[in-house]
Amino acid sequence: MIQDFKGKTAVLTGAGSGFGLECARIGAARGMNLVLVDVQQDALERAAAEMTAAGAQVLARRVDVSSAEQMQALATEVKAHFGAPHFVFNNAGVGAGGLVWENTVADWNWVLGVDLWGVIHGVRLFVPMMLEAAAQDPAWRGHITNTASMAGLVAPPNMGIYNTAKAAVVNLTETLYHDLNLVTDQIGASLLCPYFVPTGITHSQRNRPDSQAAATLTRSQQIGQAMTEKAVTSGKVSAEQVAQKVFAAISANQFYVFSHESPRALGNISSRMQNMVEMRNPVDPFIEAPEVGARLRAALRAPAS
């Protein structure tokens, strides 16, 4: 756990907006050195200017986190510039929906590339660096937070690619936590699982590379996009509040971090786990909010206009 953040270094992917930007603001306020990573150049430049004005030492780099080569170059530069980072926030994410059999190979490559491979690269490149720093100094402390989603825990319909990527991040991060505990007491890990929070992820198509351009959206994708947009923009928990929870978890060495902790949100997880242990078929993943599934079912079964 990290108690004093002043002078420590944070690597934040998806730093141009949402949770990444809000964590950068907290890091700057606490005197951290900031490595800001985003694929959207204008958002990255705005974030870098803001954090520099706040007094932080900033290294801002436009990086496609799905690229092993670009992430390797980033890690090499971070080590040369600041040394091993104390906090790594593998947070960059994109979203895509639709009935799972309708998604194209380009859809799968794009979402898994950012949401899963981005986290994999962050872990495989920065953890060895952090372990080396810990071995050299018994007082050194580090922490890694990976952004998954409630979707990775409850598997909502019409979101198959996103669910798959985020479920993998859940498993990866839980394994990371256990693996770190095998070899060190100096580096912690957290899993961030947001519910519906306004972050800009519903507009992530703006950063989709031309090589993985989307075909015309299917009807299920259009319906899913509209419903997700409505749910996210009406969210009552802000990205700033979630970022505060991220930093609190670092200090407390808390693993699970949920944006929403109400019975309505967490009850969906409990229901799924209970179904598993009792070997029952899956029930509505929105069992605590059945109107969500009802609206989706009605929209998908309605005659096409």
The per-residue pLDDT for 129 is: 98
The per-residue pLDDT for 225 is: 83
Handedness of CA 91, 95, 101, 103 (dihedral sign): negative
Decide if 195 is catalytic.
no
Q: Residue range 194-209: average pLDDT?
A: 63
**Hey, what are 177's tokens?**
């936590």
Query: Does 301 map to a domain?
Result: no
**Hey, what are 305's tokens?**
């206009």
Query: Does 205 map to a domain?
Result: yes
Query: Does 3 map to a domain?
Result: no
The per-residue pLDDT for 162 is: 94
Query: Does 179 map to a domain?
Result: yes
Q: Which long-range contacts (CB under 8 A, 24 or more apart) does 289-292 make?
A: 289/264, 292/227, 292/231
Query: Does 39 map to a domain?
Result: yes
pLDDT(305) > 80: no
Task: State which residues form the domain around 252.
Answer: 9-261
Categorize the per-residue pLDDT at 177 as very low, low, confident or very high, splitting at 50, 70 and 90: very high
CB 242 within 8 A of CB 197: yes
Single out the residue of 25, 20, 92, 12 nearest to residue 59, CA to CA: 12
The per-residue pLDDT for 286 is: 76
Query: Does 31 map to a domain?
Result: yes
- Which of 162, 177, 195, 256 is catalytic? The answer is 162
117 DSSP 8-state letter: I
Q: Which residue has the higher pLDDT, 103 or 265?
A: 103
Return the beta strands (E) in the chain as ranges: 9-13, 33-38, 58-62, 87-90, 142-147, 187-193, 256-258
CA geometry: angle 74, 194, 235, nearest 5 deg: 120
The per-residue pLDDT for 289 is: 74
pTM, two decimal places = 0.91
> Domain total for the chain?
1
Query: Does 274 map to a domain?
Result: no
d(CA 235, CA 195): 9
Single out the residue of 34, 41, 40, 79 nearest to residue 59, CA to CA: 34
Query: Does 58 map to a domain?
Result: yes
CB 141 within 8 A of CB 83: no
CATH number at residue 163: 3.40.50.720
